[in-house]
Amino acid sequence: MTAVPRAVVVIVDPLRAGTKLAQLFNGLGHRCVAVLSEESDSDFWRASFRPRDFLLTLEEADGFDALLRGLGEYEVACVVPGGESGVDLADRLTPHFPGIPAMDPKTAHARRDKYHMAEALTRNGIAAIPHHRTSDAATALAWYRDHTDGHAVVKPLAGTSAEGVRFCSSEEEVVDAFAELRGTVSLFGRVNDELLVQQDIVRDGGVEFTVNSVSSRGHHHVTDVWRMRRRMIGSTAVCVHSELVHPDEHEYGTLCTYVQDVLSALGIDNGTAHSEIMLTPRGPVLIETGARVEGACDPGIALALCGYSQNSLLPMSYLDPEGFRHAIRRPRPHPPLHARHVYLLSPVEGKVVRAPDLSGVRGLPTFHGMETTLDTVAHLERTVNLATCPGNLYLVSPSLDRIEEDYAALRALETELYANMLAD
């Protein structure tokens, strides 16, 4: 016997980190329909798809009208982006289902395109990075000369995982970045015919933070805040680790207030958002916001450390606003724990000839869970951005010193780990 529900939750691109979302809704008794966008049409995204979690799977490639006909068989309760590639299609679908909780359709263009994102902040009097959009290297160079101190960032308008982000410290590097990036195809299948040039605000002595949030009917709630550390590999700033920020730290309130203004300006009235913010001596400035769950994360860790996570609040944010308002008042766990989110970094690449020995990593006293592709890949890639990061893990302890000791031990273990995987 097959259950045929009337109401369904539609998840657009439930891939990679978004694979957990159907399990959340299914566990609460809802049935889900998957919609796969044309932007996710590659093995990088589709390899993680779990069709068994869904009542039905629809493809944008079959035509937008076909999507609407398929969804028209049901009462749609909400349309949820499962990842960055699903944000645009979710925004195009929601107006066809009046009355469901959604994001503001008037600001849809500002939720993917980083130029329009910065423009939306500027219109609302919110601090944004000085920026310029162009397809022409000469125009970019002129803007670079007139609006920077000699340091700039060149990147795609709608990228992900730091793909194509280039830090430039000379006119030659700006020209080289345009030559390298313009005309390339992103992980979403988009041609980078225009690029964004920005001031490099890292040079202002700022510190980068990631701020995760969930919104319901325009009410924004921050779930977790992390202080980010990066390392330059070539001309790209690669994630190394991040540290949990507690509400009693002085940056926390400033970041929460700022991100709430950002979310309102971008029309992220319902659902999750992952924001990257630089806290400069003059105050917080947005790097970018994704209207979806954080990608490289373990929501169980956030739940244990903070009392809630993006995932634990997401179903309520759409379907139970009263429950959402009650849940966010829940006190945080006490006493607070320190946590470090560590990104694995492979300095080598090559054919994998033996399975990884992760026993040393798992044996670290503060080890608290890991997600990795090391046990499934046939070819190990050198880490140059988040897309080529072979995994991430968490170190959790009441003692910062204990975390520092285990972090140093982990980085020493990594060298032997990768070498053994590739050695003949």
Spatial CA neighbour of 64 closest among 32, 35, 42, 87: 35
Q: For residues 157 and 164, give the distance between their C-alpha atoms in angstroms, rounded to a whole number.
A: 10
Task: Please check the confidence at residue 8 and state whether its pLDDT lies above 50.
Answer: yes
Spatial CA neighbour of 310 closest among 214, 385, 380, 406: 214
Tokens of 288: 């970018």
Other C-beta atoms closer than 10 Å to the C-beta of 288 total 19
Three-state DSSP at 416 gives helix
pLDDT bin (cut points 50, 70, 90) of residue 362 is: very high
Stated pTM of the model: 0.94
Contacts made by residues 331-337, CB under 8 angstroms, sequence distance 24+: 331/307, 332/247, 332/306, 332/307, 333/304, 333/305, 333/306, 333/307, 335/398, 336/246, 336/305, 337/244, 337/305, 337/396, 337/397, 337/398
Per the CB < 8 A criterion, the answer to whether 53 and 20 are in contact is: no
pLDDT bin (cut points 50, 70, 90) of residue 32 is: very high
For the chain, the average pLDDT equals 94
Q: What is the pLDDT of residues 89-144, one digit of tens each?
A: 999 999 999 999 999 999 999 999 999 999 999 999 999 999 999 999 999 999 99
Residue 3: the pLDDT is 53
pLDDT bin (cut points 50, 70, 90) of residue 4 is: low
Q: Residues near 220 by Cβ (< 8 Å), separated by ≥ 6?
A: 213, 214, 259, 260, 263, 264, 268
Burial letters 354-377, b for 16+ CB under 10 A, else e: eebebeebeebebbbebebebeee
pLDDT bin (cut points 50, 70, 90) of residue 391 is: very high
Task: Please check the confidence at residue 303 and state whether its pLDDT lies above 80.
Answer: yes
Residue 202: the pLDDT is 80
pLDDT bin (cut points 50, 70, 90) of residue 1 is: very low
Question: Beta strand 152-156 with 75-81: parallel, antiparallel or unpaired?
Answer: unpaired
Q: For residues 60 and 90, give the distance between their C-alpha atoms in angstroms, rounded to a whole number.
A: 11
**What burial class does residue 52 get, using C-beta atoms within 10 Å of its C-beta: 0-12 exposed, 13-18 middle, 19+ buried?**
exposed
pLDDT bin (cut points 50, 70, 90) of residue 234 is: confident
Q: Residues near 352 by Cβ (< 8 Å), separated by ≥ 6?
A: 377, 378, 379, 380, 421, 422
pLDDT-above-90 percentage for the chain? 87
Task: Please check the confidence at residue 277 and state whether its pLDDT lies above 70.
Answer: yes
Tokens of 108: 């849809």
Per the CB < 8 A criterion, the answer to whether 236 and 166 are in contact is: yes
Q: What is the pLDDT of residues 81-104, one digit of tens each?
A: 999 999 999 999 999 999 999 999
Residue 127: the pLDDT is 96
pLDDT bin (cut points 50, 70, 90) of residue 5 is: low
Residue 133 one-letter amino acid:
R
pLDDT bin (cut points 50, 70, 90) of residue 205 is: confident
Tokens 């980083």 belong to: 114
Residue 140: the pLDDT is 95
Question: Beta strand 56-59 with 219-233: parallel, antiparallel or unpaired?
Answer: unpaired
Residue 56: the pLDDT is 96
